[in-house]
Amino acid sequence: MKENFPVERHPLGFFLPSHARLLMLGSFPPKRERWSMDFYYPNFTNDMWRIFGLAFFNDREHFILPAGKPFDRERIVAFLREKGIALGDTAHEIIRLKDNASDAFLEVVTPADLQAVLAEIPHCEALVTTGQKATDTLLEMIDCAEPKIGGYSEFLFDGRPMRFYRMPSSSRAYPKPLAEKTEIYRNMFVQLGMI
């Protein structure tokens, strides 16, 4: 029964550069024992920072420390600040129905406060989700059609025109090669004038 599962509160605050134009939203971090750094997308087998490395620098190892592990948190944070990319998750509190990070076994108890987050980044013009659980949770907060993977829908949030991009998951469980995922992300960054 669900009462046997503890409610987990998000262990990270939103990363919100004041000039951010893009807010990337996942669902919730994996358990801490899977982290290789104290930041978003911390699991070393998750390919988000390899996608960023390929998309912006044509180098999948760009955000990996020279020893080969873990990710270079300082380099990632500096890059995100420079580009104006904010990060967070759609869930503030969750229950893990299985002892893993799979979205299929996450139950959102309390969603993030999107209104408060967007108030802190007034230049933000686009939201992106990186998985189906994040997409479903975000769609409960905004009035918008669900975009196809790789595409976007337009919507208004408190009178503010925005885009909602739906990107493929950076998890290796998502059945698409790294190069294909990178091309989809690169197209979004080009459309937003970040590349």
Domain boundaries, the chain: 2-191
pLDDT at 47: 95
Q: Considering only CA atoms, which of 124, 137, 162, 132 is closest in space to residue 148?
A: 132
Cβ(53)–Cβ(41) below 8 Å: no
pLDDT at 1: 41
Cβ(88)–Cβ(127) below 8 Å: no
- Give the C-alpha separation, 126 to 154, whole Å: 9
Residues of the chain with pLDDT under 50: 1
* Residue 63 C-beta-side C-alpha neighbours within 13 Å: 29
Alpha-carbon Rg for the chain in angstroms: 16
The structural architecture, per CATH, of the domain 2-191 is 3-Layer(aba) Sandwich (3.40)
pLDDT at 33: 80
pLDDT at 167: 96
Phi, psi of 123 (to 5 degrees): -90, 0
Q: Which residues make beta-bridge pairs with 35? A: 43
pLDDT at 92: 83
Question: Measured at the alpha carbon of residue 23, what is the angle toward residues 13 and 73, in degrees to the nearest 5?
Answer: 55
CB atoms within 10 A of CB 36: 18
- Give the C-alpha separation, 77 to 176, whole Å: 27
